[in-house]
Structure 1
Amino acid sequence: MADYLHSYLGHDSQLFGFEEHRLCGGRGDGMRLLQAKNGKGLEFTISLDRCADISRMSFKGNNLGYFAPCGYVGPQYYDDNKAGFLKSFTAGFLTTCGLTAVGSPCVDEGEELPLHGEISNIPSEEAYYYIDRENQIPELVLRATIRQAKIFAEKLELRREIRCSTAVNEIKITDIVKNNGCKPSPLMILYHFNIGYPLLAEQARLFIPSDSVLPRNEHAEKDIAIWNQVLPPQADFEEQCYYHSFAKNSNKAFAAIYNPNIKAGLAIDFDTQELDCFTQWKMMGIRDYVMGLEPGNCLPDGRDVMRKKGQLKFIRPGEEVTYHVNLRIIENEYKYKGGK
């Protein structure tokens, strides 16, 4: 922050900073929420009791994410039976899926695995936040640890950092997963970014510069010609998923959406050497109106399918694996296709 601004401010929070709150009432009662704003129009909420995921995000008053009908649901209500995940799937702007299962419920080598794994329903530990003033431009920083560990099973630790500049509207997410156990563990992770109204509306333009697009099933295949078209809400819409592959000669990829009606959009940058899969979840239902833009190290077909295809990844004892995802607000409609 420029030194001259100190003359105008009683407290930095007039422009930027964090505020920690707790919810009262309902199934979210007691949940810790960390609200952040960067002073440039970007505001977001980190759900500390749900994997330090980003539950809400807005830019200059316009909401960017999707909030599911169940609303905030505390981790104590998590149902790990098959698709019970949906009972507490707040969605929000980001739900992290994993760390040993992503996608369809299944049985893999005798182990019953729920929809999208359990990491998003685990509260963070050792969570702390601060304003990093080491450089000339302050940055908002959140660090937290989430442990998916149990006796006789996996012992994984996710160390998450969320960093937001006060000079530009960008958020950097860095996740480090470590295997603290004594044997290799499957490692599956998917960043379930959920775009919602008013960013998501039929005027919005979706741009995913992939080399190929494959439908998940026959239902998705019948509409593959319009995979990138955002439709108005429709009754009884059946979800469609498309799998995108990116150029092999570059490890940089992105997906973007821009709505000229609100003069704002979002780009998601990721490294295909770290996250080599990308799923587009198209759900254009009434009140179930959401577009998922989901980089990951796997596809959401279930761990058994990934194993059969030889695509299941593992993390060795003592090994650490790092993932980076960057989020950028787009204000110029001529730039959204270039990802800049």
Structure 2
Amino acid sequence: MKLKTLVSALLIAAPYFVNAAQFTLTDAATNTDVGNWKITNSNLGINAPFSVEKIQLHGGKQTGVDTLVINNGELEITLIPTRGMGIFNVKRHGKRILGWDSPVKEIVNPAFIDLESRNGLGWLDGFNEMMVRCGYEWTGHPGVDENGQLLSLHGRAQNTPASTVVVTIDEQPPYTITVEGEISERTFKKAELVTHTSFSVTPGSNQFAIHDTLTNKADYDDEYQIIYHSNFGHPILEKGAKVTAAAKEISPFNNYAKKGLKTWQTYLGPTKGYDEMVFNLKPIGDKDGNTLAVLHNKASDTGVAVGYNIKQLPVLTLWKNTDTRQQGYVTGIEPGTSYAYNTKYQRPLGLVPTIKAGESKHFDVTYTVLRTSKEVKKALHQVAEIQGHKKVKQVSKPLVDLTKVH
């Protein structure tokens, strides 16, 4: 099949790769932005329904935010290049299937966020996405590091607009749609970390993936941390919903979470006065390190599977925030290099890795929308195969004694 010629004043096309069409939507180096833009399978003469549309938002704190809506004929996935290439939500048949209802209603432009406000909790002023990159220079709860620097909640990546946004569509089946971006964390005398993000999906699929490459561009070694904060609410989360993850051990994040340890897999309905409970899991993988966590509704006919590799992302945080719907009824399945403790408390745990000068680290996370009881059952079977006959050991003592932290 030969690609049709595209004629559009709003479209800037880079030279085609072999068997692929590529479109540069944003490039800070050349001061390029195509504005509102759309491409469909019909434009390319492809007989598989899909569309990719760039839309700039207006009004309130979302002014100036770029979104990228990818419709693959089965799912409609909204990316946010202005907010660290995060994923806002996922819809199926016009209704949200992945995402949650935060008190933050707009997709907030990072220009309106002060990360150091509220003693480092300013990050919460924009928190409403399905998938948030927490990192990469640091992550975890806010606090003063050993060198006296205030580390704000969950780092800066999610509030860093992408410097480049490029869409590539394969000409040959399965016509993979790829969206690439670049997130730069560059501070004079501090850090020079650059993350190449990549999102991919194929037409008709119920699965999509992110493939990120973090590179230390500096001449000196540096620390890094990352948590892929993956958040799910209604319709999957409800009273009686259940989470299953292949793991060898689970412990409470703090003393408050101790009372929820025995029932860590199940969920309450929206509960007023419920403070968040967080659990630290030590996941296990198959022979290649691949592992899976599954969340499904009470009827076990709708859910989501989160796949990752423990060689890249060795720990898993489970965040249970079953507060009222208005306050944000949500749970987080969060693979990462680190738990959610402040950085200085994770160094003794060996969870603040080093990236050498010029070195790159790779992170892959796959999300599968489970649409039927059969698909839920299959995903749970995959977890069971990885788990084998091992029991998930419950450890009542938190990894960090926060009662002694000042």
The amino acid across from 1:226 in the alignment is T
Q: What residue is the counterpart of 1:74 in the other structure?
A: 109
**Whole-Å Cα distance in 2 between the matches of residues 94 and 131 of structure 1?**
23
1:29 is matched with 63
Indicate whether 1:316 and 2:366 are aligned.
Answer: no
Output the CA distance in 1 between the equivalents of 2:229 and 2:294: 14
Aligned counterpart for 2:181 among listed residues 131, 140, 144: 144
Contiguous gaps of at least 5 residues in structure 2: 2-40, 384-406
* 2:269 corresponds to 1:228: no
Deviation at residue 336 of structure 1 after TM alignment: 2.9
SS of residue in 1 equivalent to 2:197: strand
Identical-pair percentage: 25
1:336 aligned residue: 379
Q: Give the corresponding residue for 2:280.
A: 243
Confirm or deny: 8 A CA contact 1:137 1:167 kept in the other structure.
no
CA distance in 2, matches of 1:10, 1:211: 49
Among 150, 159, 162, the alignment partner of 1:121 is 159
Q: Could you tell me which residue of structure 2 aligns to residue 327 of structure 1? A: 367
Among 331, 334, 350, which residue is 1:291 paired with?
A: 331
One-letter amino acid of the counterpart of residue 153, structure 1: K
1:219 is matched with 256
In structure 2, C-alpha distance between the alignment counterparts of 1:247 and 1:276, rounded to whole Å: 9
User: Match of 1:88?
Assistant: 126
- CA positional deviation for 1:167: 4.1
Equivalent pair of 2:49/2:203 in contact (CA under 8 Å): no
SS in 2 for 1:211: strand
1:161 alignment counterpart: 198
User: Cα offset for 1:204?
Assistant: 2.5
Question: Which of 79, 88, 91 is equivalent to 1:58?
Answer: 91
* Larger proportion of helix: 2
Q: Which runs of 5+ in 1 are unaligned?
A: 2-8
CA–CA distance in 2 between the matches of 1:210 and 1:156?
A: 31
Instruction: Report the residue type matching 1:337 in the other structure.
Output: L
8 Å Cα contact 1:267/1:339 also seen in 2 = no
Distance 1:258 1:48 in 2: 29
Deviates more, 1:17-26 or 1:245-254: 245-254
Higher strand share: 1
Inter-partner Cα distance in structure 2 for 1:73 and 1:67: 14
Output one character per residue of 1:183-236: Cα deviation in whole Å (capped at 9) or x when no partner. 111110000000011121124332112121111111111111111111100112
The superposition leaves residues 31-64 of structure 1 with CA deviations (integer Å, 9 ceiling, x where unpaired) of: 000001111x211100010011101112333431
3-state SS in 1 of match to 2:262 = helix
In the TM superposition, what is the alpha-carbon distance from 1:14 to its structure 2 partner? 8.6
Q: Which residue is equivalent to 1:48?
A: 81
**Residue matched to 1:4:** none
Residue type at the aligned position of 2:205 = V
Q: Once superposed, what is the RMSD of the aligned Cα atoms?
A: 2.0
Q: TM-score, normalised by structure 1?
A: 0.92
- The 8 Å contact of residues 236 and 302 in structure 2, kept in 1 or not, is answered as yes
* 175 and 218 in structure 1: CA distance in 2 versus 1, 3 angstrom threshold: same
The alignment of Structure 1 onto Structure 2 pairs a total of residues equal to 330
Q: Distance in 1 between matches of 2:114 and 2:75?
A: 33
Deviations 1:289-338 (A, max 9, x none): 00000000011101101123333101111111111111112232322312
Distance 1:13 1:196 in 2: 34
Provide closer, same or farther for how the CA distance between residues 219 and 292 of structure 1 changes in structure 2, counting only shifts above 3 A. Answer: same
Contact 2:101–2:329 (Cα < 8 Å) also in 1 = no
Counterpart of 2:239 (choices 167, 192, 202) is 202
TM-score by length of 2: 0.77
Partners of 2:297 and 2:286 in 1: how far apart? Answer: 30
User: Match of 2:207?
Assistant: 170
SS in 1 for 2:184: strand
C-alpha distance in 1 between matches for 2:50 and 2:333 = 28
